[in-house]
Amino acid sequence: MDAMTALSACGGAARRPVLAGLGVDDASLRRASRAGVVTQPARGLYALPTADPAQVELLLRRQLLTCVSAAPFYGLWALDSPGPAHVYHRRGETSDGGLSHGGLLLPPDAHRPVAALGDVLIHALRCLPLRESLVMVECAVLRGDMTVEFLRRRLPGRRNGRAREVLQWVDRGADSMLETLARTCFRQAGIGVQAQVYIDGVGYVDLLLEGWLVIELDGRQHGEWAQVKKDQRRNNRSVVQGYTVLRYYYADVVHNPGQMLAEVLTVLAGRRGKQP
């Protein structure tokens, strides 16, 4: 493999041992450097001119992305997390204002400066609030890339009690991040929730609360008219069969869960109040 192809496989930048593992020898690196197709930001570190500066900086500092900052690499659900990157540093500290995570249980990715998926999730469970860590873990579990038991075994003792509590809310029924967040919000409030329930003439609905209140979730910011009409017809067919329907969007579930829950509780209380 030539130097440019190997660097492309590594995301644009890599250290010499990683490139050697891909079959790139020192002579190839020297030729590529002289030709200007490969740069050398530091001794033993090589990069394409188009390499992401953030990845180059990670390699310069000998850091690994982890926790929520590694979610895009693994394609995990994640809530927006502005602020400094979450990194693992072998010395347990960072000098750039990043959020440092200590301890690795597994070998990191072979070609990129990213912690292994198991360590990424363990760091998230120890670091992030429940909602943020839950969506990452549940996404990995639903895809079959991780198991709850694997994580639980690696979170022993009282100091990991809060992290293990998050694992109690992991479920296999969700079809999206919004379903995970809404389902957990309702269950934490003591509401009976079923996910992905099939209703004759309607199809699968996202959530069914207390056997009669349908919750539909939509992550689109702006719905197309054809889809809006389809959704409304589904709502109508649900109501005709005796169900009540509420529909919520990304902003409701992610940014205003308290208001969403208050509305649901009001509807549930109204039905209970009418019962003889």
Sheet holding 193-199: strands in order across? 193-199, 203-209, 213-218, 244-249
Query: Domain of 253: which CATH number?
Result: 3.40.960.10
Q: Are residues 48 and 67 in the same domain?
A: no
**Structural domain boundaries, residue 11:** 3-52
Q: Are residues 201 and 227 in the same domain?
A: yes
Q: Are residues 201 and 267 in the same domain?
A: yes
The beta-carbon contacts of 97-103 under 8 Å, at least 24 apart in sequence, are 98/63, 99/67, 99/127, 101/66, 101/67, 101/126, 101/127
Q: Which two tokens stand for residue 160?
A: 């990991």
b/e per residue 210-244 (b: at least 16 CB within 10 A): beebbbbbbeeeeeeeeeeeeeeebbebbeeeebb
CB 214 within 8 A of CB 205: yes
Q: pTM of the full predicted structure?
A: 0.90
**Where is the domain boundary, 139, 167, 195?**
167
CB 264 within 8 A of CB 190: no
Least confident of 13-17, 107-111, 242-246: 242-246
57 assigned to some structural domain: no
Q: Are residues 41 and 133 in the same domain?
A: no
**pLDDT, tens digit (0-9, with 9 covering 90-100), for 217-271:** 987 654 575 666 677 777 778 877 878 999 999 999 999 999 999 999 999 998 7
Please state whether 44 falls in left (phi above 0), alpha (psi between -120 and 50) or beta. Answer: left
In this prediction, residue 172 has a pLDDT band, given cuts at 50, 70 and 90, of: confident
34 assigned to some structural domain: yes
pLDDT of 222 reads: 47
Q: Give dist(CA 147, CA 260) in Å, integer.
A: 30
User: Which tops the pLDDT comparison, 94 or 58?
Assistant: 58
172 assigned to some structural domain: no
**Where is the domain boundary, 167, 197, 221?**
167
pLDDT at 276 over 70: no
Q: Are residues 107 and 163 in the same domain?
A: yes
How far are the Cα atoms of 59, 78, 175, 181, 183 from residue 121, in angstroms, in the given order? Answer: 22, 12, 20, 17, 21
Q: Are residues 16 and 73 in the same domain?
A: no
- For the chain, how many structural domains are there in total? 3
Q: Are residues 90 and 144 in the same domain?
A: yes
